[in-house]
Amino acid sequence: MIAIALACDPKVLIADEPTTALDVTIQAQIIELMKDIRDKLGMAVIWITHDLGVIAGIADRVIVMYGGQVVEHAPVQELFRNPQHPYTRALLTTIPKISGARAKRLTVIAGQPPILGDAPTACPFRDRCDVAIPRCAKENPPRFDLGGNHDAACFVAKGPDHAG
Amino acid sequence: MLDDTAKPLVQVRDLQMHFPIYSGLLRRQTGAVKAVDGVTFDVIEGETLGLVGESGCGKSTCGRAILRLYDITGGTISINGTEIGAMSQGDLRPLRPAMQMVFQDPQASLNPRMTVEAIIREPLDEHTKLSTDEKEAKVGELMDAVGLNRRFAKRYPHAFSGGQRQRIGIARALALNPKFIVCDEPIAALDVSIQAQVVNLLEDLQEKFGLTYLFISHDLSMVRHIATRVAVMYLGKVVELAPREALYADPLHPYTKALLSAVPEPDPSLAQTRERIILQGDVPSPANPPTGCNFCTRCPAVMDVCSKIEPTYQEVQPGRFVACHHYETTGTADATAGQA
Ligand SMILES: Nc1ncnc2c1ncn2[C@@H]1O[C@H](COP(=O)(O)OP(=O)(O)O)[C@@H](O)[C@H]1O
Ligand code: SF4
Ligand SMILES: [Mg+2]
């Protein structure tokens, strides 16, 4: 599969959940292989996954999507150190870790994943968000530039001055 | 929690589940898939024993065999002091209420033509003599216990989200006041944002009803969260069993080491520094396992003896069981060699 994708010497490779159905030891083999190829051929890789662990191991930059839109974008270290969108923050704390301190209880993201429908006229995460303000129900937040190649689509993340 | 008074609720000894392979014109048995091949462990009353390993290693078969959803091909299973390994399905019937199962795919395990109420009531119809009113009250209590709104009792499973469907499956499993529940990958089919809800529910129910769980999962991080002790399976056998902290902090078996090192760490700085053991090759077929140690074809610490003699599964430290020649107390090698 990977060989077919590489046959025409691509500049960009889109890998859509390439290891999701695989076991961790096989996943580790594939990730090592992909890193190798990426560095040797100097191509760009877009790796689509729901696994934050895989992202931490392979990505330079990360885009987080929710309800069909980009809610946060940052360099990988920055995203994990300083997540600004409430969805990203919730996602990072709801998943138990394989090492380090062990939470006595998992943090829950309340509610259900969104159902995609018409163009949103409000923030898609507002019903599950623990810092939502009235404005979140009236407007769909654009991506606010937070500096350092980091942006987030959240009125609150933008900072209290603009939260109005 | 696990002191000297800890009492085993379930005792599994040398459990074997071989599925026959038939071939040829006469459909003669020509071999067997050794899905579970000599597994021994206890499940202590009130604990969660995690059962981990990669797909096809025999986790589900093990869970189903313990509940006697199969006629096992060898070994013994005692639940609450009663030996059930060789019992007929008829004799098992009165014991069924005490042992239940929660399945991976809530979609597939719920009858789409039955209302939620009927799904949860079905085990009460089959195993109790409760009146209609009593059953209705019990269904209501169960829906409350798993966080389902009673107003939805007359709806059908398709009207619910994945997480809610899993709650229906859990309510049904709880209907007969079981002591022991096998949870077979109960969160694997759920959105990541929903998994914690279901895991927290399972923990709450365990505390409330004094349940004992066998929690089957390939998600090692989630098992680290929920399990009291963890058993690691490879190719039909348990290779290591240890209390949770010990297993994750200091895995002994070469396979456990490789498995844990392959779990992606959701922290970019740790992900870069962590030493990964990349296993080569594929898992052999359970119809044709290697001689000697089942892991010898892929083991980074393999020795000559490993392809000749099967290592004994034995207690190498208090509460820690390992099947590997590096730890055999009467064997050839010293225990530290396992660090390779
Ligand atoms: N009913 C069956 N008949 C024949 N082979 C089976 C049956 N159920 C499982 N197996 C085989 O047994 C092995 C273990 O399967 P399973 O217990 O489902 O593993 P796991 O749950 O760890 O993924 C696999 O090789 C599988 O193909
Ligand atoms: S017995 Fe040998 S092959 Fe098996 S795990 Fe131990 S060192 Fe590896
Ligand atoms: Mg399974």
SS (H, E, C) B55-86: CCCCHHHHHHHHCCCCCCCEEEEEECCEECCC
pLDDT band for position B333 (cuts 50, 70, 90): very low
Give residue-wise pLDDT tens across range B244-285.
Answer: 999 999 999 999 999 999 998 888 887 777 788 889 888 999
Between the CA of B43 and the centroid of ligand 2 the distance, in Å, is 26
The answer to whether A98 contacts chain B (CB < 8 Å) is yes
Question: Which residue ranges have their beta carbon within 6 Å of ligand 1?
Answer: B 19, 33, 35, 53, 55-61, 286
CA B331-B336-B337 angle, to 5 degrees, is 70
Question: Which residues 112-151 in chain A show a CB within 8 A of chain B?
Answer: 112-113, 128
Better pLDDT: B112 or B106:
B112
- Give the predicted TM-score (pTM) of the model: 0.91
Per-residue pLDDT tens for B18-28? 999 998 888 88
- Tell me how long chain B is: 340
Helix (H) or strand (E) holding B40: strand B28-44
> How many Å is the maximal CA-CA distance in chain A?
53
Structural contact between residues B51 and B237, judged by C-beta atoms closer than 8 angstroms: no
The conformational region for residue B281 under phi > 0 = left, psi -120 to 50 = alpha, else beta, is left
- Residue B270 confidence (pLDDT): 79
Identify which of A51, A107, A113 has the shortest CB distance to residue B191: A113
Q: Are strands B212-216 and B180-184 parallel, antiparallel or unpaired?
A: parallel
Percent of chain B with pLDDT over 90: 81
CA of A20 to the centre of ligand 1 (A): 20
Distance of CA B100 to the CA centre of its chain: 13
pLDDT at B185: 95
What's the pLDDT at A18?
79
pLDDT of residue B331: 45
Beta carbons within 8 Å of B88's beta carbon, 6+ residues apart: none
pLDDT at B334 over 80: no
Long-range contacts of B118-124 (CB under 8 A, 24+ apart): B119/B157, B119/B168, B119/B172, B120/B168, B120/B171, B120/B172, B120/B175, B121/B175, B122/B172, B123/B97, B123/B172, B123/B175, B123/B176, B124/B175, B124/B176
Q: Is the pLDDT of residue B339 over 80?
A: no
Candidate from B232, B256, B302, B309 with most ligand 2 atoms within 8 A of CB, to mutate:
B302
> pLDDT tens for residues B131-178?
999 999 999 999 999 999 999 999 999 999 899 999 999 999 999 999
Atom of ligand 2 nearest to the CA of B255: 5
Question: CB of A146 within 8 A of CB of A81?
Answer: no
Q: Is A34 on the interface with B (CB under 8 A)?
A: no
Task: Please tell me which of the candidates B194, B220, B268 has its beta carbon nearest to residue A98.
Answer: B220
Q: How far apart are CA B281 and CA B259, in angstroms?
A: 14
Residue B135 corresponds to which tokens in the numbers above? 């059953």
What pLDDT is stored for residue B158 in this prediction?
Answer: 92
A109 chain-B contacts, CB cut-off 8 A:
193-194, 196-197
Which two tokens mark A47? 């790796």
Q: A118-127, B36-45, B125-134: lowest mean pLDDT where?
A: A118-127
Per the CB < 8 A criterion, the answer to whether B28 and B22 are in contact is yes
Distance A49 CA to ligand 3 centre (A): 22
Which residue from B minimizes the CA distance to A82? Answer: B267
Give the closest residue (by CA) to ligand 1 atom 10.
B35
B65: amino acid identity, one letter: A
Pocket test for ligand 1, best of B15, B16, B19, B235 (most atoms within 8 A of CB): B19
Q: What is the signed CA dihedral for B254, B257, B263, B269, rounded to 10 degrees?
A: -140
Closest chain A residue by Cα to residue B269: A77
